[in-house]
Amino acid sequence: MAKNNLIGGSIWDEYSKVVQDRMNNPKFMGEITEEDAKKANAKLIVADFGAESCCGDAVRLYWLVDEKTDKIIDAKFKSFGCGTAIASSDTMAELCIGKTVDEAVKITNLDVEKAMRDNPETPAVPPQKMHCSVMAYDVIKAAAASYKGIDPEHFEDEIIVCECARVSLGTIKEVIRLNDLHTVEEITQYTKAGAFCKSCVKPGGHEKREYYLVDILRDTRAEMEREKIEAQANAQANHTLGDISFENMTMVGQLKAVESVIDKEIRPMLEMDGGNLEILDIRNDNGENTDIYIRYLGACSGCASGSTGTLYAIENVLQESLSPKIRVMPI
């Protein structure tokens, strides 16, 4: 078969020799029949998958499975698509043979692509054609589900963002956090997500996606920033940042610090007498004073000492623990 029968000659050099050979001379293209299954004393599994949302390619996978061992003793395929789809389907079928059904389900699209490389460092196909091997995982999953009599989604325990590299949403978020990533390019470097067909990078690619790397990065960075602020506030409240004065804390930090002291030193005493209090507001008076507005609850709300002895005791504890500039204002 001539080169240009399957792909444009201008990009031929971007395909590995393995891919070119499998395009023109697939080893496992064909059909397995029920008669073949009887002769082999094995169960015939036939599964289909079509990439309607992508390029319209489709593949049918045939398995002969030894039911005693769950091992795939033979595999063939039919592919209705481009040369890359034929090559990747041929490779997929070969990778299945000799594996158990559970082992086959672990074959990813990247496994198929890597098996077609001439050398480990050079991709087997150009990025814009990587999506043609995406069908491998999906049709294997369909075959395994048919054999086990379960829903194919049983094998999908995470949301897959990058179909080409089979990278999950959880993995991308974890990598962003662990490595403090700031760009999509860094995500691709660490996970390979977005390295191939690029549909998952941002809206507007050849295939519409539910999740995009640009959005995941933005949302995860926002979560990290919120957590950082909260952690700082908690640290301030627990006095783990000894070099930060109460006056220099954020408003959230001041509130947590006051709540912490009240919970430890004041609230237990009030509760012994059937009372309690809540903090309503904290206001800074141009750096001169920090006014903490409280409301008495329970028995404390009608107690005369709420404006004298109890008030002075609360104020004294907060001043000694946090800042002499604190004033407590009951409402």
Q: Residue 100 carries which DSSP code?
A: B
Q: What is the pLDDT of residue 144?
A: 95
Which CATH code fits 246-330?
3.30.300.130
Q: For 16-20, 272-276, 291-295, which range has the lowest pLDDT when averaged over its residues?
A: 272-276
User: What does the pLDDT average to over 309-330?
Assistant: 92
Q: Residue 20 carries which DSSP code?
A: H
User: What does the pLDDT average to over 146-172?
Assistant: 81
- Cα dist from 228 to 178, 183, 186, 225, 247, whole Å: 14, 19, 21, 5, 20
Adjacency order of strands within the sheet including 289-298: 275-285, 289-298, 326-330
Q: What is the pLDDT of residue 81?
A: 77
224, pLDDT greater than 60: yes
Catalytic-residue membership of 197? no
CATH superfamily for domain 158-237: BFD-like [2Fe-2S]-binding domain (1.10.10.1100)
User: What does the pLDDT average to over 213-241?
Assistant: 81
User: What does the pLDDT average to over 64-86?
Assistant: 93
Q: What is the pLDDT of residue 3?
A: 45
- Who has greater pLDDT, 82 or 64? 64
- Who has greater pLDDT, 261 or 303? 261
Which token pair is 306?
Answer: 């709420």
71-86 in b/e form (b: 16+ CB < 10 A) is: bbebbbbbbebbbbbb
CA nearest to 60, candidates 152, 139, 141, 149: 139
Q: What is the pTM of this model?
A: 0.52
State the pairing for strand pair 289-298/326-330.
parallel
Question: pLDDT (tens digit, 9 = 90+) per residue, 12-40?
Answer: 778 899 999 999 999 999 999 999 999 99
Q: What is the pLDDT of residue 190?
A: 78
Question: pLDDT (tens digit, 9 = 90+) per residue, 80-106?
Answer: 878 888 999 999 999 999 999 999 998
What does the domain layout of the chain look like in residue ranges? Answer: 3-155, 158-237, 246-330
Q: What is the crossing angle of helices 213-237 and 184-191, to 10°?
A: 100
- Who has greater pLDDT, 173 or 152? 173
Identity of residue 75: A
- Who has greater pLDDT, 270 or 130? 270
- Who has greater pLDDT, 124 or 52? 124
CA-CA distance, 324 to 327, in Å (whole number)?
8
pLDDT tier at 145, thresholds 50, 70, 90: very high
- Which of 54, 55, 164, 300 is flagged as catalytic? 55
132, pLDDT greater than 70: no
Q: What is the pLDDT of residue 6?
A: 47
CA-CA distance, 45 to 104, in Å (whole number)?
13
- Which of 132, 197, 200, 300 is flagged as catalytic? 132
- In 10 A of CB 216, how many CB atoms? 19
Token look-up 């409402």 returns 331
129, pLDDT greater than 90: no
Q: What percent of the chain has pLDDT over 90?
A: 45
* Residue-averaged pLDDT of the chain: 85
pLDDT tier at 130, thresholds 50, 70, 90: low
The dihedral built from the CA positions of residue 228, 233, 237 and 242, taken in this order, carries a sign that is positive
Catalytic-residue membership of 300? no
Greatest mean pLDDT range, 7-21, 230-244, 253-267: 253-267
Topology (CATH) of 3-155 = Sufe protein. Chain: A (3.90.1010)
Kindly tell me the burial class for residue 274, based on how many C-beta atoms sit within 10 Å of its own C-beta (0-12, 13-18, 19 or more): exposed
